[in-house]
Structure 1
């Protein structure tokens, strides 16, 4: 099983250690994990130019760290995002990362649950997970908003959210909102 972690943490040591421990406890001794720390990478913001759909299908105009990440996403069975909660939402780096996933979709639409959603470029997409790092100012409504946003994102990404955990600063799991894989 290929598991991909996308984290945003400027002090990555403890978060990477947590991710490795989480992975071992959740998935056993799986050596097929990749961890990308967006704080140590260059990920440009999407400009909405749609070149990835119209001029260079499936390829973003930016030649940055996302090129390597795209390749790993396509191979992944599970993709788990790890984000601090900033001003009531996921971090800007994680949001930018999600915006940059548009090349993995086609510029066409299909109807899912009576709603228009992008058509997938690939046959399979990874199962999704989100691990949030709670701060002292985080409210339950913040977590619920992020959960709903991520569920809506998963529809467009032709996937489903199967992991949604919230951590204290000490990184203890507070709750597991959805079922186990």
Structure 2
């Protein structure tokens, strides 16, 4: 039975001097983390590497991609940095303790009712006529959303599913079964 396996990697540590800047690149530690992730993933038969357009993710993808030289790599808006925030109608679906924090989400990161993240899951979480292995280099909240989806948890439950820089999470779809969380926040290659 064919399966789709998504390997989700959070970008390496961003240079503290450019923290939160979209053009900010990786720190020396972030480059080392990406190299280690690349060595860890070198034997996986990936179909493609999809990375967030932000510099820290693109640099992570380039360093990992050096260990996967024949695998096509491209920027992908489906894995851009997003924060799923509730619409006014869905606000009460989120715990009240998070409302003030969510209200301060920058406009360019807001994903109301996770519309874009739901589209990302629909795009990547499909089973084709053959096995697929896709590498997504992205951001903490995006990975949290995929994990929340795999666990069929409430919409707000991406909160607190924190991913270390360059850690590995794997979600798998097989046939008509619900998705399965294979690994979460695996940092064994970073030790």
Larger fraction in strand: 1
Structure with the larger helix share = 2
Higher relative contact order (CA 8 A, sep 6+): 2
TM-score (norm 2): 0.35
